[in-house]
């Protein structure tokens, strides 16, 4: 199997060389290529091929249509078996023989749901920091959020902190000493969808 | 505070991949379903082109997402999920191909791919895609795989060599041949 591409431009450059040059993002700039009309023409042809290849895959994806419901359910059923429940956080019960716990995963789920009730806020991640497995130990909750760009940040964050504080006090026995909110992203639909 | 839960569903469609990934890492299967909706079509398409079978492609795409769920917590922050999915899927597809049909190296993939892009109303763009699809389908398998991994999977030469278990020089050769064929046969479309 020979590795050489017989196609050579009349200027002496090969399609292969040009393709390598493209793969390097045309760096460092090669004046013998960048000033040669034939090379530039071939480069644009190669770029077309790459663009068309990506277009083809996207088009394939559209042609395939929506996956069957079973296909999606197959994935979701499998991952449901690998629930990320995290630590068991204790809940007091008057009867000492009874042990009750709420999983960290359930608390995270609660935090996401509460986030969903605050306009303009979507919870990204949340961490429960501290020795949450020991009743009464101080615990810090840190959430990252995406904020609707049309909302002003301060009231939204204050509203989120209040809502989280109330919900965590109601549904858990965590000794929350701080709720940290960090905006890591913004969202919001643009007025019009792009055409393709 | 009556009905904001419904609103959240819509809002998830709006947020970035990173936010959905974070939620999925924390165990939110709805967020993960959102990611499947965004990236499933391209992944299924690439898997189908690599294997030449939509049934196998769909199954491999499923496995890729399943693996993604488990490995998301290790995904570096800010790493593009799409690229990661295409690479993981590619790995699975090639392992699958090696185990199911180890010996048809070099054979053009007859039924492999020509059919997908042609089943639609012909217009200029569609005809061009169909032409590219035919050209790809007629390439020898290794050449075609190299091209798919490079141009559609975004892998570099070393990664392709690794995936296909070929020396890098062979990968260069395959890509050069594939490129020359495609370049020549697609010339009229430029």
Better-scored residue on pLDDT, A90 or B107? A90
The ipTM, to two decimals, is 0.80
Nearest to A80 among B26, B29, B120 (CB): B29
pLDDT tens, A159-173? 999 999 999 999 998
Out of B75, B102, B129, a domain closes at B102
Domain ranges for chain A, please list them: 15-64, 88-187
* CA torsion through residues A31, A36, A39, A43, sign: positive
Q: Is residue B24 part of a domain?
A: yes
pLDDT tens, B169-189? 999 889 888 988 898 889 888
Suggest the residue from A15, A75, A109 to mutate for an interface test with chain B (most B CBs closer than 10 A).
A75
Statement: residue B41 has pLDDT above 70: yes
Q: What is the CATH number of the domain that holds B173?
A: 1.10.10.10
- B89 and B135 in one domain? no
Domain that holds residue B78: 12-102
Suggest the residue from B13, B176, B188, B190 to mutate for an interface test with chain A (most A CBs closer than 10 A).
B176
Give percent above pLDDT 70 in chain B: 82
Q: Is the peptide bond before A28 cis (omega within 30 degrees of 0)?
A: yes
B151 touches chain A (CB under 8 A): yes
Out of B82, B102, B122, a domain closes at B102
CB A141 within 8 A of CB A164: yes
- B126 and B66 in one domain? no
What is the rounded CA–CA span in Å between residue B54 and residue B113? 10
What is the rounded CA–CA span in Å between residue B89 and residue B92? 5
Better-scored residue on pLDDT, B141 or A142? A142
* B179 burial via Cβ count (<10 Å: 0-12, 13-18, 19+): buried
Total domains, chain B:
2
* B58 burial via Cβ count (<10 Å: 0-12, 13-18, 19+): buried
pLDDT tens, B68-122? 999 998 887 666 888 889 889 988 998 898 888 655 444 444 444 444 444 444 5
- B184 and B169 in one domain? yes
How confident is residue A115, by pLDDT bands cut at 50, 70 and 90?
very high
- Report DSSP letters for B38-101, one per residue: HHHHHHHHHHHHHHS-HHHHHHHHHHHHHHHHHHGGGSPTT--HHHHHHHHHHHHHHHHHHHH-
Number of other CB atoms surrounding residue B95 within 10 Å: 12
Class of the domain covering A88-187? alpha beta
């Amino acid at each position: 199997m020979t590795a050489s591409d017989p196609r050579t431009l009349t200027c002496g450059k090969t399609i292969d060389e040009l393709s390598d040059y493209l793969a390097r993002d045309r760096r460092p700039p090669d004046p013998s290529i960048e000033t040669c009309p034939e090379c530039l023409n071939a480069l644009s042809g190669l770029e077309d091929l790459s663009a068309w290849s990506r277009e083809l895959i996207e088009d394939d994806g559209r042609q395939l249509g929506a996956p069957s419901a079973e296909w999606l359910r197959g994935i979701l059923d499998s991952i449901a078996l690998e629930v990320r429940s995290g630590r068991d956080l204790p809940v007091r019960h008057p009867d000492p023989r009874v042990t009750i716990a709420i999983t960290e995963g359930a608390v995270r789920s609660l935090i996401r749901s509460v986030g969903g009730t605050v306009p303009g806020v979507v919870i990204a991640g949340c961490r429960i920091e501290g020795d949450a497995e020991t009743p009464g130990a101080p615990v810090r909750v840190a959430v990252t959020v995406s904020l609707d760009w049309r909302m002003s940040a301060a009231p939204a964050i204050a509203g989120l902190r209040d809502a989280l504080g109330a919900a965590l006090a109601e549904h858990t026995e965590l000794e929350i000493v701080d709720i940290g909110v960090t905006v890591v992203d913004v969202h919001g639909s643009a007025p019009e969808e792009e055409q393709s | 505070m009556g009905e904001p839960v419904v609103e959240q569903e819509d809002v998830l469609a709006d947020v970035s991949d990173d936010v959905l990934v974070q939620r999925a890492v924390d165990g939110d299967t709805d967020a993960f379903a959102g990611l499947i909706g965004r990236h499933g079509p391209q992944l299924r398409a690439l898997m189908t082109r690599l294997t030449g079978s939509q049934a196998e492609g769909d199954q491999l795409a499923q496995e890729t997402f399943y693996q993604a769920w488990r490995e998301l917590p290790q995904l570096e922050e800010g790493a593009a999920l799409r690229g990661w999915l295409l690479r993981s899927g590619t790995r699975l597809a090639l392992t699958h191909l090696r185990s199911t049909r180890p010996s048809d190296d070099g054979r053009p993939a007859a039924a492999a791919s020509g059919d997908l892009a042609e089943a639609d109303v012909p217009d200029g763009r569609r005809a061009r895609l169909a032409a590219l699809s035919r050209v790809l389908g007629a390439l020898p398998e290794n050449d075609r795989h190299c091209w798919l991994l490079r141009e559609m999977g975004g892998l570099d030469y070393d990664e392709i060599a690794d995936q296909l278990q070929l020396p890098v020089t062979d990968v260069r050769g395959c890509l050069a041949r594939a490129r020359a064929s495609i370049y020549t046969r697609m010339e009229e479309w430029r």
